[in-house]
Structure 1
Amino acid sequence: MSPQPDPAVSRPDESSAGLVARLRANFLAGLLVAAPISLTVYIVWAVISFIDTQVSSLFPPSWGLSHYLPGFGVLLALVGLTAVGALTANIAGRLVLAVSESLLGRMPVIRSIYAAIKQVVHTVLAQKAEAFREVVLLEYPRPGLWTLAFITGTTNGEVRACFDEEMVNVFVPTTPNPTSGFLLFVPRRSVRLLSISVEDALKMVVSTGILTPDDVVAGAGTTPPPLAAAIDGGGGGA
């Protein structure tokens, strides 16, 4: 009569499979913790190194500023920008700025580039418009499908004259790269204003919808129009 196997003794293959599963779980857990920290440190350090290299090129190489003083370029850039802002606040600084802009305005190609960059920078930094201040839902690219978008301003000029109602400029970002997307002119009644922040909306776009803000109460502060009314009123507006 052959002896019966002891059920308390696990098989070697089962023990190995359990060990591999635990190692894989620990590896994934470590990756989830280390990857965001490592990427953040790498990006910050890359930006600092780039600025240090550009600023240090203005000084003699024998000084070795970027090598002996990491972050010196960033500090110098901050001081320089602050000094430029202080200079342009007085009459002499405004005169120099006006002369410089006048010279740039006479150059055929450069004046177009400068004007576009100046307008974008003033819009974003000086906040002269409600650029990227409102997150909306937009029925796009066809009725029944909705996407996150950002109102970048109110439609004006010749484009506005083509419509009989208030229009808004809407930027629809692509996923997972929100730096590219589409500019749409949409009737204001066709968008649903959301109460989430721009940062939370960008997280949703970058993560392809994996990260969803869980602290937002639907309809907080605003009452979105019914779905049927939104489809009937703005389905063909985009």
Structure 2
Amino acid sequence: MTEKLIKVSVPTRIRNNFLAGLIICAPIAITLWLTWSIVHWADSWVRPYIPARYDPENYLNFAVPGTGLVIAMIFITLIGFLAKNLIGQSIVRLGESLVNRVPLVRTIYKSVKQIFETVLKEQGTSFKKVGLIEYPSPGLWSMVFISTDAKGEIASKFNAMGQDMVAVFLPPTPVPTAGFLVFVPREKITILDMSPEDGAKLLISGGLVSPEYRQELIAAKGLPKPIPMDSLT
């Protein structure tokens, strides 16, 4: 009986050790692989346009990965600096006016530009808070990313009905990039203290990776109180 238990426990220990090592090694390996792939992708796009006299590989006996990526970052930074000047703004407006005259290209350009402006805008308020709403039925709670107050025609329709609505993004698990845009009454949203990054981790992991909670709030029971009316403005 003892020998049988020993034979069962040894494979179990080996499996547990393997899984523990996989948890440590897999994120490191994937991070290194993604970083290396991005560096090589940037080099493959930029290096062909680098003049030979400025290419460090012409003076060294070994390859220098990342040269294209560094040059691309410098170039993009310079473009951003020039675009803030009056002359640069005029050139950008002229280029956009030319692009807007091409039917298919202008649609793609406007869509891509709007996405980048929404994601990278420093003063934006998109997805800076995480909340809970009762969905898909009362008593069941789903995590949402709070976007902004209802605006434009939608806000006008809701205001006519006497409702103060907030736009939230309801993502699925484990791919939070897809989901639903839902307009929810402000008083029915329960704010959470976790950051959007922690919320994304919780969703991607299917609830297995839970963010740390402040010690002074651990004793609190139940869900946080509904958010105030002016906390999302």
Q: Compute the TM-score of the two structures, normalised by the length of structure 2.
A: 0.81
Distance 1:43 1:34 in 2: 14
Match of 1:212 in 2: 210
Report whether the alignment pairs 1:125 with 2:116: no
Matches within 5 A, 1:216-227: 216=214, 217=217, 224-225=225-226
Q: Residue 19 of structure 1 aligns to which amino acid in structure 2?
A: V
Q: Give the conservation status (yes or no) of the 8 Å contact 1:169–1:185.
A: yes
Q: Residue 47 of structure 2 aligns to which amino acid in structure 1?
A: S
1:182 maps to which of 180, 183, 198: 180
Q: Give the conservation status (yes or no) of the 8 Å contact 1:52–1:70.
A: yes
Match of 2:75 in 1: 80
TM-superposed deviation, 1:70? 0.6
Distance 2:93 2:190 in 1: 43
Distance 1:153 1:110, change over 3 A: farther
Q: Give the conservation status (yes or no) of the 8 Å contact 1:151–1:169.
A: yes
Q: Give the conservation status (yes or no) of the 8 Å contact 1:139–1:147.
A: yes
2:17 maps to which of 17, 23, 26: 26
TM-superposed deviation, 1:59? 4.2
What is the aligned residue count?
214
Match of 1:107 in 2: 102
Q: Deviations over 1:48-99 (max 9, x none)?
A: 22222222243479x696x811111221111011110111122221111010
**Is the partner of 1:162 in helix, strand or coil?**
helix
Q: Residue 157 of structure 1 aligns to which amino acid in structure 2?
A: G
Q: Residue 12 of structure 2 aligns to which amino acid in structure 1?
A: A
Q: Residue 31 of structure 1 aligns to which amino acid in structure 2?
A: L
Report whether the alignment pairs 1:92 with 2:87: yes
TM-superposed deviation, 1:111? 2.0
2:37 maps to which of 20, 32, 46: 46
Q: Which moved more, 1:123-132 or 1:144-153?
A: 123-132
1:137 maps to which of 118, 132, 135: 132
Distance 1:15 1:141, change over 3 A: closer
1:16 maps to which of 3, 7, 12: 7
**Is the partner of 1:48 in helix, strand or coil?**
helix
Match of 1:155 in 2: 150
Distance 1:97 1:84 in 2: 10
Q: Deviations over 1:4-26 (max 9, x none)?
A: xxx9xx64x54433332332222
Q: Which moved more, 1:164-173 or 1:196-205?
A: 164-173
**Is the partner of 1:211 in helix, strand or coil?**
coil
Q: Compute the TM-score of the two structures, normalised by the length of structure 1.
A: 0.80
Match of 2:169 in 1: 171
Distance 2:189 2:145 in 1: 10
Q: Give the conservation status (yes or no) of the 8 Å contact 2:191–2:226.
A: no
Distance 1:168 1:127, change over 3 A: farther
Q: Residue 208 of structure 1 aligns to which amino acid in structure 2?
A: G
Q: Which moved more, 1:123-132 or 1:204-213?
A: 123-132
Q: Any gaps of 5 or more consecutive residues in structure 1? A: 1-6, 227-238
Match of 1:3 in 2: none
Provide the identity percentage: 37
Distance 2:196 2:148 in 1: 15
**Is the partner of 2:92 in helix, strand or coil?**
helix
**Is the partner of 1:84 in helix, strand or coil?**
helix
Distance 1:117 1:153, change over 3 A: farther
